[in-house]
Amino acid sequence: MKKDVQVSFISRSQADDVIQQLYTGHSSWYKLKKAIAWLLRLKKMLQRNIHKSDNTNQVQLPTLSTQELLSVELAIVRYVNDDRPFRSLNAIKSGDGVIRIGGRLNYACLPLEKKHPIILPTQHVVCELIIQHCHEMAGHSGRKHLLALLRERFWIVKCRRIIPHLINKCRHCRKRYCSAGGPKMTPLP
């Protein structure tokens, strides 16, 4: 007796389209991280059910942990800077698979994120979401302060060109820094 077997597959280009839609479908960096974290948790749960492992009695917490969000952030960054040439920036690949900027701070007593920030490409939706997130967390501060905050963790290529564009799109900043309307002069008699 033969069993009917159905095989489903997704090509790399179709998977890239789905992931790109996932990135463009979220309006904030935090919401994107949460959505992908829930998807990865679902993937783990399905894999556990397929393999029928011994720890099926393990109960998942209803909320996401900080560790899950950090691992999702690294997964997103790995996907974004995958297969991109960053030779002019003396790029290095760290142990967690993330491409980081090289430099002369190898022996400094600083955390890895400060010594070698993560390189991100210029025109990507994730970069815009990260810049918007930092801008809001910094209290809608100015361009130079936002650039300094971003450079603590990320090195976005041509970031100085992107920041003014995104700050000008910010409704809160446009409202706060708008020029006052001048008084209308009455006609002379």
pLDDT tens, position by position, 85-111: 676 778 888 888 888 888 888 888 988
> Which of 35-44, 52-61, 85-94, 97-106 is predicted least confidently?
52-61
pTM for the model: 0.78
Residue 119's nearest CA partner among 108, 106, 130, 109 is 130
For position 94, what pLDDT does the model report?
84
Residue 99 makes CB contacts below 8 A (sequence gap 6+) with 81, 84, 86, 91, 92, 93, 118, 119
- Of the CA atoms within 13 Å of residue 149, those in its CB half-sphere come to 18
